[in-house]
């Protein structure tokens, strides 16, 4: 699947468009970035589908922290928390397809009743 097909990623009512910025990210030494001003998640084509998907989850967690906590005052601490939580969440989704399926079914049922 093309990770860009996920776009936009909605976090707390804000839509974040996914787009590639491979050269810019490489120049800045980053795998992905969350752009608050343009509401974008920048991804690199230098990485495969799994790292790209993990990057989307990682940047979405930064967006959650920004939205609900205004970001953390210590960017190194935030990076560490986001890295561990996003890796942990990716693993939980990978190892529990029935959990993910239950979420999808519940969400579809709720949308049908709206
Ligand atoms: Zn990060």
Q: Computed from CA positions of residues 54, 71, 4, 98, in that sequence, does the dihedral angle turn out positive or negative?
A: positive
53: CA distance to ligand 1 center in Å? 13
Q: Which pLDDT band, with edges at 50, 70 and 90, does 8 fall under? A: very high
> What would the pLDDT profile of 62-76 be if each residue is shown by its tens digit?
999 999 999 999 999
63/87 Cα distance (integer angstroms): 16
SS (H, E, C) 22-44: HHHHHHHCCCEEEECCCCEEEEC
pLDDT over 90 percentage in the chain: 91
CA distance 19 to 40: 7
> What is the whole-number distance in angstroms between the Cα of residue 109 and the centre of ligand 1?
34
- Residue 114 alpha carbon to ligand 1 centre in Å: 36
């Amino acid at each position: 699947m093309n990770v860009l097909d996920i776009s936009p990623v909605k976090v707390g009512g804000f839509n974040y468009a996914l787009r590639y910025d491979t050269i810019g990210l490489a120049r800045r030494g980053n795998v992905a970035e969350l752009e608050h001003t343009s509401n974008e998640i920048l991804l690199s084509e230098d990485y495969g589908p799994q790292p790209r998907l993990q990057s989307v989850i990682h940047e979405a967690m930064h967006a959650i922290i920004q939205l609900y906590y205004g970001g953390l005052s210590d960017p190194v601490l935030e990076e560490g928390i986001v890295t561990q939580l996003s890796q942990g969440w990716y693993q939980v989704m990978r190892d529990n397809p029935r959990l993910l399926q239950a979420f999808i079914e519940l969400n579809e049922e709720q949308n049908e009743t709206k």
